[in-house]
Amino acid sequence: MSYNPQPQPHPKHPLAEFKVGVDNVIFSVDTANNRLLALLVKRLQDPFANSWSLPGTLVREGESLEDAAHRILSEKIKVENLYLEQLYTFGNPGRDPREAKESFGDRYLSVSYFALVRFEEAELLFNQGGMTAWFMLQKIPQLAFDHNKILNYGYQRLRNKLEYSPIAFDVLPDLFTLNEVYQLYCTILGENFSDYSNFRTRLLKLGFLSDTGIKVSRGAGRPASLYRFDAEAFAPLKNKPLVFI
Amino acid sequence: MSYNPQPQPHPKHPLAEFKVGVDNVIFSVDTANNRLLALLVKRLQDPFANSWSLPGTLVREGESLEDAAHRILSEKIKVENLYLEQLYTFGNPGRDPREAKESFGDRYLSVSYFALVRFEEAELLFNQGGMTAWFMLQKIPQLAFDHNKILNYGYQRLRNKLEYSPIAFDVLPDLFTLNEVYQLYCTILGENFSDYSNFRTRLLKLGFLSDTGIKVSRGAGRPASLYRFDAEAFAPLKNKPLVFI
DNA sequence: TTGAATTTTGGTGAAAATCACTATAATTAA
DNA sequence: TTAATTATAGTGATTTTCACCAAAATTCAA
């Protein structure tokens, strides 16, 4: 046990003042076309006017970070089913050109959130000014600020989460076929990540998908069973290490 | 593609102003006594004067978040070998009582970092005022702010990291016996997490530990081989999913 | 209408991994 | 010199993984 100074302002080292923004990395899977998409907005104002960027907002008085993340999401798209979690905080000095320009010299901090939304219901909202669009992950342009870095970080998180947690079932419909789950995994993780037959058996052995017995025909071939995610059966597995693929 | 508003101040919803702090969850393993420890400091000033808390600091002008984390670490202890990564950002309104008291109404945001340091070399530094001490994880007192929550979050991350990444070798000496690795894992993950013999074979099969051939006697019993972590052999495995236990 | 194509479902079996347990070697302790 | 201790190297039953196969139930197309 030793005596230490309490953190406090040092005359030679003034504290930084911050504006805090929330930037969302919003993913969605267009299952019809097997495309993994990210939502981007076109900036109207400087800095980086006319550049595409992650949808973001500055945090308001009395607003929690997660509320701000939800707000920016609901301003851009209409969604009911989604997964959202905090991603990472980027706060290096100089990451926002406004820091140099503005007289008061505030730093701009970005707390990023990562979201996965159900594509079929994610209707892009029309608003005054600015554009919102889905971009294929292979065709992301140069983005404003350090947003390419943030997006890549989010993509990594997406793949990890998909392999170790049941986020897929947050954006699948209530009733789904096993092939729909498989297509979702393929689209996000890349084509040849696993054999379909083995994927099925591994997934079913986890024990939280229940067969409704209802059969549906999706085009040609034998009709598939509709399954549902059984939250009760999953609950006891929540804190155990699970591999979903 | 639709038209959306750019994020900007709304007259009815003024932006929050922030002070940004960095709080460190610093773990260490006292291998001699098989104890998992967390570093805490005693606060001198309000709020929460005389409460124990995570070592933290407010971010200075021109200082990156990670630099601030390193600074607070090096003010409390003298370490050369450590693992450090960002943990989570806590920014709910009302998490710091100063928000209510101070006239300018700044929010207090905490970007937390998680560190694991080598216990043998982690000398507690003596400074003017304030106390620094290692606490066993089972004996953490009520902490200032939301620091108990942050610490628990850090403990979870510690166990996950230990199982999926080689952070153990960041805090082990350059040369170590397999038993020393095993004791480290036992202390952090709990006694009966695995059989020693099977732990050895699994760990060696990963292929990044090289036997130096040097034998050492640690008390009674047959002398053990000293191993070293082979960074080159590990490099190609860096981005692959690995299980270390 | 009828066979081909397609898709689901439920396998099989070889290879690999897991895991409780055993045996032997090399040292210290007494 | 013997016992205790620890490191190391297995062994073998069980489970998991994984490439592959086959039947069932449908659509598609001639």
**CATH code of the domain covering residue B217:** 1.10.10.10
pLDDT attached to residue A140: 98
Residues B142 and B187 in one domain: no
Residue A11: inside a domain, yes or no?
A: no
Q: How far is the CA of B193 from the C1' of C10 (A)?
A: 36
CB contacts under 8 A, A 117-136 vs B, are 124-133
Cα angle vertex A23, ends A22, A27, to 5°?
140
Asked if the structure places residue B11 within a domain, the reply is no
- Is the pTM above the cut of 0.75? yes
Longest dimension (CA), chain A: 75
> What pLDDT score does B240 carry?
83
A63: domain CATH number is 3.90.79.10
Task: Report which secondary-structure segment, H or E, holds A162.
Answer: helix A147-164
CB within 8 Å: A89 and B89: yes
Contact of A41 with A57, CB cutoff 8 Å: no
pLDDT at residue B241 in the model: 80
- Say yes or no to pLDDT of B41 above 90: yes
Mean pLDDT of all residues in B230-235: 96
Asked if A157 and A100 sit in the same domain, the reply is yes
Question: Same structural domain for residues B157 and B176?
Answer: no
Q: How far apart are CA B178 and CA B175, in angstroms?
A: 10
Residue A6 or B88, more confident: B88
Per-residue pLDDT at A129: 60
Predicted pLDDT at A53: 97
Domain boundary among B164, B183, B218: B164
Tell me what the pLDDT averaged over chain B comes to: 91
Q: Is B103 within a domain?
A: yes
Q: Are B126 and B172 in a shared domain?
A: no
The larger pLDDT score, comparing residue A43 to residue B10, is at: A43
Q: How confident is the model at residue B11 (pLDDT cuts 50, 70, 90)?
A: low
The domain tally of chain B equals: 2
Q: Is residue A154 part of a domain?
A: yes
Is A147 among the domain residues? yes
Please give the backbone phi and psi of residue A57, each rounded to the nearest 5 degrees, phi first.
Answer: -155, 160
Which residue positions in chain A have pLDDT lower than 50? 1-7
The torsion defined by the Cα of B56, B137, B193 and A198, in degrees rounded to 10, comes to: -40
Q: Does B72 touch chain A (CB under 8 A)?
A: yes
| Residue A200 approaches strand D within 7 Å at CB | no
Distances (CA, A) of A150 to A13, A153, A160, A190, B13: 29, 5, 15, 21, 27
My answer on whether B66 and B145 are in the same domain is yes
What tens digit of pLDDT does each residue of A85-125 get?
999 999 999 888 887 776 667 899 999 999 999 998 888 88
> What is the pLDDT averaged over residues B160-175?
95
The last residue of a domain, from among A103, A132, A164: A164
Residues B177 and B210 placed together within one structural domain of the fold: yes
User: Does any domain span residue B110?
Assistant: yes
> Are A52 and A150 in a shared domain?
yes
Region B149-177: mean pLDDT is 96
Closest-CA residue to A116 (of A75, A166, A171) = A171
The CA–C1' separation of B81 and D6, in angstroms, is 29
- For chain A, say whether B30 makes contact (Cβ under 8 Å): no
CB pairs under 8 A between A and B: 188
Q: Which nucleotide is nearest to B219 (CA to C1')?
A: C28
Are residues A114 and A96 part of one domain?
A: yes
The residue with greater pLDDT, B5 or B149, is: B149
> Comparing C-alpha atoms, which of A223, A170, A228 is closest to residue A204?
A228
The range of the structural domain enclosing residue A38 comes to 18-164
pLDDT-based confidence at residue B10 (cuts at 50, 70, 90): low
Backbone φ and ψ of A202, nearest 5°? -60, -45
Give me the sign of the Cα torsion angle A161, A167, A172, A175.
Answer: positive
> What pLDDT was estimated at residue A2?
45
Is B7 within a domain?
no
pLDDT for res B123: 87
Domain boundary among A164, A194, A209: A164
Q: Is the pLDDT of residue B50 over 80?
A: yes
Mean pLDDT of B71-94: 94
Tokens read off for A223: 């009709």
The answer to whether A187 touches A198, Cβ cutoff 8 Å, is no
The predicted model gives B121-148 an average pLDDT of 89
Q: Specify the higher pLDDT residue, A1 or B217.
A: B217
Same domain, B77 and B37: yes
pLDDT at B8: 54
Rounded-to-integer distance, Cα B119 and Cα B127, Å: 20
Report the residue from B15, B44, B65 with minimal CB separation from A89: B65
| B99 and B87 belong to one structural domain | yes
Residue A243 lies in a domain: no
Same structural domain, A60 and A27: yes
Q: A118: which 2 tokens? A: 């159900």
Do residue B110 and residue B216 come from a single domain?
no
Position B4 scores a pLDDT of: 42
